[in-house]
Structure 1
Amino acid sequence: MTRSMPDTDRLPHALYRAEQVRNLDRTAIEDFDIPGIELMNRAGAVAFRCLRDRWPAARRLTILTGTGNNGGDGYVIARLARAAGLTVRLLQLGDAERLRGDAAVSCMAYRNAGGTVEPCSALPRETDVYVDAIFGRGLERAVEAQWADAVMALNGQRAPILAVDMPSGLHSDTGRVLGVAVKASATVSFIGLKQGLFIGAGPEHRGDLYFSALEIPATVYSREILSLRRVDWDQQRASLAPRSRVAHKGDCGHVLLIGGAPGMSGALRLAGEAALRTGAGLVTLATHPQHAAWLNLTRPELMVAAVECPEALGPLVERADVIAIGPGLGRDDWGRQLWAQVRDLGLPLVVDADALSLLAEMPVYGPDWILTPHPGEAARLLQVGVREIEQDRLEAVRVLQERYGGTAVLKGAGTLINDGSQRPPAVCSDGNPGMATAGSGDVLTGMVAALRGQGMDADAAATAGVCLHAAAGDFAARQGERGLIASDIIAALRPIANGIEGM
């Protein structure tokens, strides 16, 4: 869940690296004469207000502070909490004498108001909320020694945790866990949203996300070009323009889906139905003769063609506006021959599943295709391990696009889209873990192909498709994430795409 705080008019779609947020901070201080201590006081006040709104019954707080500015924010929260009559225990990690600048001023203000500082040893159990103000956005090194002990102890408590700006131990740029990281119930972030909150392990560690710009003038942001775009269905729904009142099925795109080797027909069927539910006027499934006769028995709107050899694709390709290949394709001779037949046709192409594995075996560059790998497929395409992909997903999607061309979609928590243009890549902030289920990727393939066939360019189709897919998954998850299946996502597509999900 992501929310803006009341002093912002919308949740930002602009995401930044830690260095860029430091620059925004510096610009506000040096060029707009906003004292650093004022920004710290604003951050602490916003965080305290978030805590009170989120846990109104909380009366006992334990605040863990470090020796940097993030710790200074923690001192502000502690002072405000004491003034509001709450019981506060402030546990200092590292020597408080190392506090400098605004953080030292905040510490002194807290002490002068009667607050006490304890060294961080054991965490008190009689606490309603813990506040993580240990490390801020600039952490680069692994969390070790007493710092790691404190983070692990914090994660072992039953009370909720509010992280200040970033969960301690989470890399602000990559979302990588630096040894160990706080698993927050909620995070309140300031000035600029850090991209690491949305990629890598960010969604797992941030909890619900809140944001405040701290009343920084909008002109400050003109100094930095965002490094990543956050996209969601609320933003993308406008890309599905109303249909012409005189539209016919030929205007809405003919999607040709190729795949479904023996024993794997379900993947192609899911992709085909998803394409129909995303608005494709015509959908043809080119599949193995073994099951072609019955593949559309319960969905007669799908056309099915039995394809024994690659030459049989000729008439089907001539009628298609877009081709998607890969769901259930297999990697035996049948699948390999079909892939070789369509790979270099020059038509708009969506490549997924087994077709991606075949592409990894014989890499070629394609200027007008959309690649939709999950981390395992991405690892094969880049000849690295899955761990390397997940350690820096943003770099992985950049290299995928650079090496293979077209538009690269790296699926997962925080799906990434990169078309290689000057525009920053995008990350989808919708979706839920219930979507980690067989066939979910096949559904996305059909959806993206349908949008491409309806006239969207590759990047627009990929972005809208990813966001619609995620929103449909969230709609389906209203009945619970556990047990959600790919067909549930398909069932949600029509109401979500037409904006009637609340009816």
Structure 2
Amino acid sequence: MSTLPQTLYCAAQVRELDRLAIEAFGIPGYQLMCKAGGAAFECITAKWPETRLLAVFCGSGNNAGDGYVIARLALEAGLDALVVSIGGPEKLKGDALTAFRDYSEAGGRVTVFDPGRVIEADLLVDALLGTGLDRPVSGLYADAIAAINRSGLPVVAVDIPSGLHADTGNAMGCAVKADCTVTFIGLKQGLFTGQAAEYVGEIVYDALAVPDEVFASVKSSVFRVIQKPMLPRPRCAHKGAMGHVLVVGGDLGYSGAARMAGEAALRVGAGLVSIATHKEHAGLMNLYRPELMCHGVESGAELMAWLGKADVLVLGPGLGQGAWGKEMFSAVLKSDKPIVLDADGLNLLSVSPLSKPNWVLTPHPGEAGRLLRSSTPSVQQDRFAAATAVRAAYGGIAVLKGAGTLIASESQIAVSTTGNPGMASGGMGDVLSGVIAGLIAQGLDLQEAAEQGVFLHGRAADLAAVKDGERGLLATDLLPFLRQLVN
């Protein structure tokens, strides 16, 4: 077992990794299968040491072969094991058939799945369907998945929870809800976004001793984000060298959004933060955060003076889509400064499409749907494709928010797995836009600022939820943890 690598692969790339390991490097397929089953069994005994009876659900493909290996290893370790077969062992071929025969020779039992029968076991192993699934699950396989999910027993998925699409992370009609997924050789990109968080549980990885040359032969453009420590500041640093962020937003009744974005930029280290907002509340916005410099701006012409003083712009938090918001939007888009575009800035962009190389767009799935003239379900159906499409259409960096936020640049897609359901509350996006802008102000390029900003934002939410839980988490609860993380 090892820590999770950064590189992620689609199902076709994983199949190519398997092929190269077997054909180019001469590793027998059955050897890999036995190693996979061994890794899964090792995980089971480590995490559930009291387990005495395993029920292993097997289909008719190679994933089933891994299951038969697990069942055999359980018998050899003095445990009891039962294979529950869907489709029957007679459909097995190749290495999976060899695994079945070895299990049978070890005295293993196989029973045909009966939807009406209660399976007696301490733990269930899901080895029904692998990464090749390309259509909704139906029939006995759907019945078996339902039986696993309602069992109330610990569930370990082999390679990927059955029913989960390896590329998109979406359930194909239904999917196994695992407590742990033991995955092999190449990390599947679908394990980290879409609906995957609902199904995968803890992810455990084993490369099965496949040579590094195999991985070097299959290039992927999808990566997990890991935190990169920020460089120490020079002892002679001053506020002018730490960047000046200007937040443009805060229509009447929505001043809090701009305020949160501004404070977030300060908390991650921006030297100066100004807010251009309505005159009606400009004098009140910094009442409890005097470090924010707030300016009442009523026209695009007034805004131009403040645009010239800033290093990076945040456009959208609380902006509104009325006359004032549209005028601010038009004025900001004339600037050549880096821009972080969020909320109503994105909604206005969807009405007047424009491509710019030096901005970061941060849509949630609904906003992405509007940008793509599509729908939220369509975006969620394939988040990788949607993030890529937004970036292609509008330029810059596209951040598709949600569980497993995607950050798409011209050359790659990064996936961040920090964050929790407590973030489903107002203001979280405003804080994120400020975080990204604050990092850009300090010298990070747009891609790195977006990747690290998303990671830190989610990690701050995770830390904030530790003490009091996820429900009731507020966007401003993240601020002290953001400061902690960047230090």
Give the TM-score normalised by structure 1: 0.95
The code of the aligned residue for 1:179 comes to G
> Unpaired runs of 5+ in structure 2?
none
Are positions 1:462 and 2:456 aligned together? no
2:287 to 275, 297, 312: 297
Give 1:204 deviation, angstroms.
1.7
Which residue of structure 1 lines up, in the alignment, with residue 130 of structure 2? 136
- Whether contact under 8 Å (2:300, 2:331) holds in the other structure is yes
Which residue of structure 1 lines up, in the alignment, with residue 53 of structure 2? 60
Which residue of structure 2 lines up, in the alignment, with residue 191 of structure 1? 185
Give 1:34 deviation, angstroms.
1.1
DSSP 3-state at the match of 2:216: helix
The code of the aligned residue for 1:481 comes to E
CA distance in 2, matches of 1:38, 1:20: 20
Give 1:95 deviation, angstroms.
2.3
Which residue of structure 1 lines up, in the alignment, with residue 251 of structure 2? 261
More displaced stretch, 158-167 vs 483-492:
483-492
The code of the aligned residue for 2:484 comes to P
- Whether contact under 8 Å (2:307, 2:335) holds in the other structure is no
The code of the aligned residue for 2:21 comes to A
Provide Cα deviations, 1:304-360, integer angstroms capped at 9, x if missing partner.
001122211122111100110100001111111100111121111110000100000
Which residue of structure 1 lines up, in the alignment, with residue 477 of structure 2? 488
Are positions 1:452 and 2:440 aligned together? yes
Which residue of structure 2 lines up, in the alignment, with residue 389 of structure 1? 379
- Whether contact under 8 Å (1:260, 1:268) holds in the other structure is yes
- 1:302-451 equivalences under 5 Å are 302-421=292-411, 424-451=412-439
Give 1:87 deviation, angstroms.
2.2
DSSP 3-state at the match of 1:478: helix
DSSP 3-state at the match of 2:65: helix
CA distance in 2, matches of 1:402, 1:103: 43
Are positions 1:473 and 2:458 aligned together? no
CA distance in 1, matches of 2:359, 2:167: 28
Give 1:85 deviation, angstroms.
2.1
Which residue of structure 2 lines up, in the alignment, with residue 176 of structure 1? 170
Are positions 1:210 and 2:204 aligned together? yes
Provide Cα deviations, 1:28-65, integer angstroms capped at 9, x if missing partner.
11121111111000000000010111111122211100
2:101 to 105, 108, 112: 108
1:225 to 219, 223, 239: 219
CA distance in 2, matches of 1:172, 1:378: 22
CA distance in 1, matches of 2:17, 2:297: 58
Provide Cα deviations, 1:122-178, integer angstroms capped at 9, x if missing partner.
453532211100001111121111111111121112111100000001111111211
- Whether contact under 8 Å (2:55, 2:119) holds in the other structure is no
DSSP 3-state at the match of 2:313: strand
1:45 to 38, 46, 49: 38
- Whether contact under 8 Å (1:378, 1:389) holds in the other structure is yes
Which residue of structure 2 lines up, in the alignment, with residue 32 of structure 1? 25
Give 1:475 deviation, angstroms.
1.1
Give 1:285 deviation, angstroms.
0.9
- 1:225-244 equivalences under 5 Å are 225-233=219-227, 236=228, 238=229, 240-244=230-234
Give 1:207 deviation, angstroms.
0.7
The code of the aligned residue for 1:43 comes to A
- Whether contact under 8 Å (2:247, 2:276) holds in the other structure is yes
CA distance in 2, matches of 1:464, 1:88: 45
CA distance in 2, matches of 1:141, 1:271: 42
The code of the aligned residue for 1:379 comes to G
Which residue of structure 2 lines up, in the alignment, with residue 89 of structure 1? 82
CA distance in 1, matches of 2:150, 2:30: 33
- Whether contact under 8 Å (1:232, 1:429) holds in the other structure is no
How high is the sequence identity, in percent, across the aligned residues? 51
Give 1:298 deviation, angstroms.
0.7
Provide Cα deviations, 1:256-289, integer angstroms capped at 9, x if missing partner.
0010111111111111110000100000011111
CA distance in 2, matches of 1:411, 1:391: 14
Provide Cα deviations, 1:198-239, integer angstroms capped at 9, x if missing partner.
121122211110000001111111110014111132xx2x3x
- 1:13-28 equivalences under 5 Å are 13-28=6-21
The code of the aligned residue for 1:466 comes to V
Give the TM-score normalised by structure 2: 0.98
DSSP 3-state at the match of 1:40: helix
CA distance in 1, matches of 2:476, 2:120: 46
The code of the aligned residue for 1:146 comes to L
Are positions 1:497 and 2:486 aligned together? yes
1:245 to 215, 218, 235: 235
Give 1:193 deviation, angstroms.
0.2
- 1:153-168 equivalences under 5 Å are 153-168=147-162
- Whether contact under 8 Å (1:232, 1:430) holds in the other structure is no
Let me know the Cα RMSD of the aligned residues. 1.0
Give 1:294 deviation, angstroms.
0.8
DSSP 3-state at the match of 1:448: helix
Which residue of structure 2 lines up, in the alignment, with residue 276 of structure 1? 266
- Whether contact under 8 Å (2:183, 2:204) holds in the other structure is yes
- Whether contact under 8 Å (1:267, 1:439) holds in the other structure is yes
CA distance in 1, matches of 2:14, 2:331: 49
> Unpaired runs of 5+ in structure 1?
499-503
DSSP 3-state at the match of 2:21: helix
CA distance in 2, matches of 1:415, 1:95: 40
DSSP 3-state at the match of 1:403: helix
- Whether contact under 8 Å (2:142, 2:174) holds in the other structure is yes
Which residue of structure 2 lines up, in the alignment, with residue 118 of structure 1? 111
CA distance in 2, matches of 1:137, 1:11: 18
